[in-house]
Structure 1
Amino acid sequence: MLTVDEVAGWPEEPLALAARQARDTGRTLRTEVTGARAELTRLKRWHGRAHDAAAHRLAQEADHAEEIARVLAAFADTAAAAGTELAAGRDTVMRLVGEQSGIRADGKDRAIDTAEDSAQPDAKVRAALADLDGIDRRRASELSRLSADLDAMVHGHVTVATPEGRRDPDGIVNRLVALTPEQRRDLLRRMSSGDVDRVVAANPQVVGNLDGVPFGVRIVANRRSIEEALEAEISRGAGDGPRAHQLRAMLGTIPDPHHPGRRVRRQFITFANTKAGRSIEMFGAWSSQTRGAAVYVPGTGTKMDSAGANRTAAWNFANRSGAPVFLYMDGQFPPNLAAAASPGFATSMAPNLVGFSRALDAEVADHAPGAATTYIGHSYGGAVVGTAEQLGLRADRVVYASASGTGVLPGGADAWVNHDAAQRYSVTPPGDPIQPVQSSGAHGGDPDNAPGVTRMDSGDYSNGERVRGVHGHGAYFDDPGSDAFKNMVAVIRGEPVTPYVEREPDMPRPG
């Protein structure tokens, strides 16, 4: 096991140099291969079999180099994470040693009973050393495996073990695409974690967006995809642009919503670097205490580069409910109110949401059996959720929050496939500008009046001001202390809600 003297001699930032060198090597490799392919393209007068053979060979080497660069990126990422964990563990050990040897946190001496006490690590120090030793061994194993992969890749593609024998990782990716989500999950479950990582390295953009691939694997794959998207922004000279800024933030950390005193990496279940950006971000984690999970679908104008308020709301849902919460932005939202009149955005997004609901059910079965799932659709996001219900969304609870309707397909709420299988709630403040849209039936009808839907009270903000009017359409999502937000949290937790109290008409009476 590690000793205090060994830990005390560690550098300030363990493995920082190794992480930086691995990342820089990967960048250099990509740059050189890109340059070689560009050089071949510039030889416009060269034709014939030799040219075609060179182009084919270069394409093969480019694919191989890309896989090596991804393994180098994985090594860099693992080394950086290991360094952070090791530094934190070292600091804990040295703090405890300082306390044992009589130096208090305030710099004053603390009495020591005997010389023997000061010479031997006490129980707290020994426990901290044991924890740190475990981290050290686990991270060393991960880095050793990645180093072995790099050594093997010098001589060509590595293969992975499957139930049918050893296969090329690219072939496994192609096979995953052709399988059903259930078949994907079964195949990956029967492979080692190291081989699954090799499949991720072959094509993280594909693996990270396949329903049926376990969320933990998708999170790793999408981190690779985000890193590569950032590299692409830098390469095209947009390294200081808003998208690059957003991608760097996505690779960073946030306070853990379940334990705000510590920071955790952000987690993405899907990611696509489209113009508006597409993603599903997970806030929180599964645990033995998990009793629910929630999916929050925001509304008009949602884009990856400007979704800060939506992320904060999702974080607050996770923090207040204790459940993992998924911010669902996996699609094209209406860019403005004029575009929101179209049902096309909902019909485009809803099928993917149905697929995600099945993927989420599989994760719940693996990590939190019996936990209830809740889907919250805000504004146009309510029309997306309602349309997904018309297509077979599997949910235990659904909340229509200032929702524009119950689904844009014919039949509205009457066309919900699992009509009696879920508890449904709505919350719409009086004077909310969505009220006329609800009444028009353009998106399927008013969820507040739909059969089987419990309308919850919108009440007041945390400062005592009434939730109402234009501001009330979304401001309660920004105030976790508001009555409306607390009601939505109660739904996620499976607790009683406060029913709607009419204090004024929903819409001003004419005349």
Structure 2
Amino acid sequence: MTAGERALAGSADTVRGLGAGLSSRTVGADVYLHLAKAVTGLGSSSGSAVSVQRLATRMQASSAPANVVQAADAAWGKALSKYGQQMEDLKRRAQRARDELAGVDDELAKARAKLDGFDGLDAPGEPSVRRALVQAVAGVEERRAHLLQRLKALDEERTGADSAAAAAIASSRARYLAARAAFPEPPSVSEGVTVAAPLPNGATQDVSALSLAKLKDPGKIRAVWDRLTTAQQQALITDFPLLIGNLEGIPLRDRNTANVISAREYRAEVESQIIAFTLYQDTPGAAGLFDDTIAELRKEVTSLDAILGDRNDKHRGEADFGEYVVYDENGRRVVQKGTTLVAFNPLWDSMVTFQGMLDPVTGDIPTWMTNVAISVPGTGSKLASLSDDLNRTKRLFAASGPTSGYFTWHGASLPDAGGEHALEAAMRGFADVGAPRLTSFANSLRLPRTTDLVLIAHSYGAAILGGAERLGLRADRVVYVAPAGFGHTASGLEDFPNTKDKPHFAVQARNDFIGATQGLSGFGLGHGTTNVLNAPGVVRLETGYLRDGDPASGTIESTGWIEAHSAVFTPDSTAFLNIVGVVTGESVSLYHPDSKRVGPHGIPIDEPGTGVKKPAERISPLDLSEVRG
């Protein structure tokens, strides 16, 4: 390769054109704008039957790789444009040097010809003339050498530009590959697998997951399911786990098998979303854009780790993470990795777990389990914080004895708290969606005749439970904990067709901030005009001390007017043990109001701290005839 040939190679115009084309591509922006428009059209999340926030996050995560591609296009286009300009500049300088070199070569040829002519004279010429001719040749050769050196330097500069462009292209290629890897896997879809179920008359019937769901009646679904072999059941589970795992009538054990599949798939999707958002934030102008979203998604992964119990080694610093104690029919303690996942549909914001041993034959609640509770959490509960709700259930279960079992029911979206979501706790839509789901779930449980079902609802969960009781939920006992209200569709126990005569209890600290909102309703907000604490037929229980019977530990109220809202679940506290007593049927203690003194103008004034000091008055939560009398 002659000097300057590398510097002159290639078409600068072509390279610049490619760079301009890449820089002008807007695939990422176009995708993002269309998805953002779709998300905006979904409207407010208040009361939605599906999780709008989860849909929005999924769409944003799907568009993030496209934005990464656009950023890679821009970076590659910029690199190519710069490379094209460098090529053009080098070609211009190299061509000028080549033109100069051609002139110098002509001049050198002429200078050498003169020297050769002088040396070819018949008679020796003047020595000084020859010296001048030799010097002229040497001067031209020196100029030629300098030009060659300049062309070589231009070649080297072009080599450097080539390397820089190659590095930029390699970097862009790495971004393209990363973007491709960040695209989430398409959701699994049923392939319509069918199995032949035997009928009582000896014939067979083709059954699919969808045809099972179309039966609607949990009893009919169970009858068909029980006629299938284990292999047939597994075939339907793996074909459509999202449907089988949330289908009332399917045994809890088999629902768990299906939901574990769905939960692991969703966790993998969330981790892909984290990668996509992180990758996008590495692009120019996007730093920190999705920090809050990434933090929330990481919390969702932690909750799923706790539910599934398959990554406990990653959480060694957290005691008992992903481990759940259950008891067999002989009362022997068994530690399970992961808890039973009896409902899981993230798009519905539905996550329901069960802590307790299942019958090894039926896969449902065993006959020796005397009490089963369903705990419904309140405002702020979501998948990202569900591990906190699970830990609360763990503590209730641990205090209830080996013949009890606990569901943690998060079968619908619950309001968020704070900031732009501050008003959500007063909105009714969440309860309107959750109440029928809770009713369907509770009434579809296959419980032994000797097993009592107890409902526990905290805060906003009370509005869901009240609406469910209004719709015909069946239960043996009910306890409302710091309740937002019965819900706007019910005014009291008389509105509950199946539970009006069942024992109802309320547990709430005297200074709980929620007391300022109870019984307030209007303008489409609030959860009924009836204050649950004062509703006829509801027995209020004492909250007492942080350690039951120990005044030195402080009262529940001493934790503060905000903290007291959840402090009623403090283990070993009077309030906590009263909740457990309602579940187990053991004695509970009645609430005693604070004493009053006569204040200015004869107005009665509460004397804080006097009610809790009154002697405990214990009753059975199973028979309220004395209290009602």
**Higher deviation after alignment, 207-216 or 176-185:** 176-185
Match of residue 78 from structure 2:
none
The 5-angstrom pairing of residues 5-404 of structure 1 reads 159-163=195-199, 171-236=208-273, 238=275, 241-242=297-298, 243-252=300-309, 253-258=322-327, 262-274=335-347, 277-285=349-357, 286-322=365-401, 323-336=404-417, 337-360=422-445, 362=446, 364-365=447-448, 369-404=449-484
1:495 CA drift (Å): 1.5
User: Helix, strand or coil: the match of 1:421?
Assistant: coil
RMSD: 2.9
Cα deviation 1:308-331 (Å, max 9, x = unaligned): 322111111111113110011010
SS of the aligned residue for 1:324 comes to strand
- Residue 475 of structure 1: aligned partner: 567
Does the C-alpha gap of structure 1 residues 421 and 196 become closer, same or farther in structure 2, counting only changes over 3 Å? farther
Question: What is aligned with 1:443?
Answer: 527
Shift of 1:157: 6.2
Instruction: Tell me if 1:460 matches 2:542.
Output: no
**Aligned partners of 1:237 and 1:162: how far apart in 2?**
47
Aligned-partner Cα distance in 2 for 1:246–1:228: 14
SS of the residue 1:262 aligns to: strand
Aligned twin of 1:495 = 586
CA distance in 1, matches of 2:222, 2:267: 29
Look up the match of 1:424. 504
For residues 443-472 of structure 1, what are the alpha-carbon distances to aligned partners after superposition, in whole Å with 9 as ceiling and x for unaligned?
122111111111100101126211113221
Is 1:406–1:413's contact at 8 Å kept on the other side of the alignment? no
Aligned length: 352
After superposing the two structures, state which structure 1 stretch, 246-255 or 338-347, moved more: 246-255
For residues 248 and 419 of structure 1, the distance between their equivalents in structure 2, rounded to whole angstroms, comes to: 37
Give distance in 2, aligned partners of 1:484 and 1:186. 42
Are the counterparts in 1 of residues 476 and 499 from structure 2 also a CA contact under 8 Å? no
Does the 8 Å contact 1:431/1:508 carry over to 2? no
Looking at structure 1, the residues matched to 605 and 482 of structure 2 have their Cα atoms a distance apart, in angstroms, of: 17
Check conservation: 2:367, 2:451, Cα contact below 8 A. no
User: Which residue identity does 2:450 align to in structure 1?
Assistant: G
Structure 1 gap segments, 5+ residues each: 1-61, 69-155
5+ residue gaps, structure 2, are 1-184, 277-293, 310-321, 358-364, 597-603, 608-629
- Deviation (angstroms), 1:67: 7.6
Structure-1 residue corresponding to 2:48: none
Bigger CA radius of gyration: 2
SS in 2 for 1:281: strand
Instruction: Give the C-alpha shift of residue 389 in structure 1.
Output: 0.9
Residues 279 and 330 in structure 1, CA contact (< 8 A), matched pair in contact too = yes
Residues 106-149 of structure 1, C-alpha deviation per residue, up to 9 Å, x if partnerless? Answer: xxxxxxxxxxxxxxxxxxxxxxxxxxxxxxxxxxxxxxxxxxxx
> How high is the TM-score relative to the length of structure 2?
0.52
Distance 1:508 1:475 in 2: 25
Shift of 1:348: 1.0
Given residue 412 of structure 2, which amino acid in structure 1 is its aligned partner?
Answer: G
Task: Write out per-residue CA displacement over residues 204-239 of structure 1, whole angstroms, 9 at most, x where no aligned residue.
Answer: 100111111111111111011112212333455549
SS at match of 2:468: helix
Give the whole-Å Cα distance in 2 for the aligned partners of 1:434 and 1:411.
18
SS state of the match for residue 183, structure 1? helix
Distance in 2 between residues matched to 1:238 and 1:464, nearest whole Å: 47
* Amino acid in structure 1 at the alignment position of 2:219: E
Distance (Å, rounded) in 2 between the aligned partners of 1:311 and 1:502: 32
Is 2:492–2:535's contact at 8 Å kept on the other side of the alignment?
no
1:344-376: CA deviation from partner (whole Å, max 9, x where unpaired)? 11111000111111122x2x13xxx31111001
TM-score, with structure 1 as normaliser: 0.63
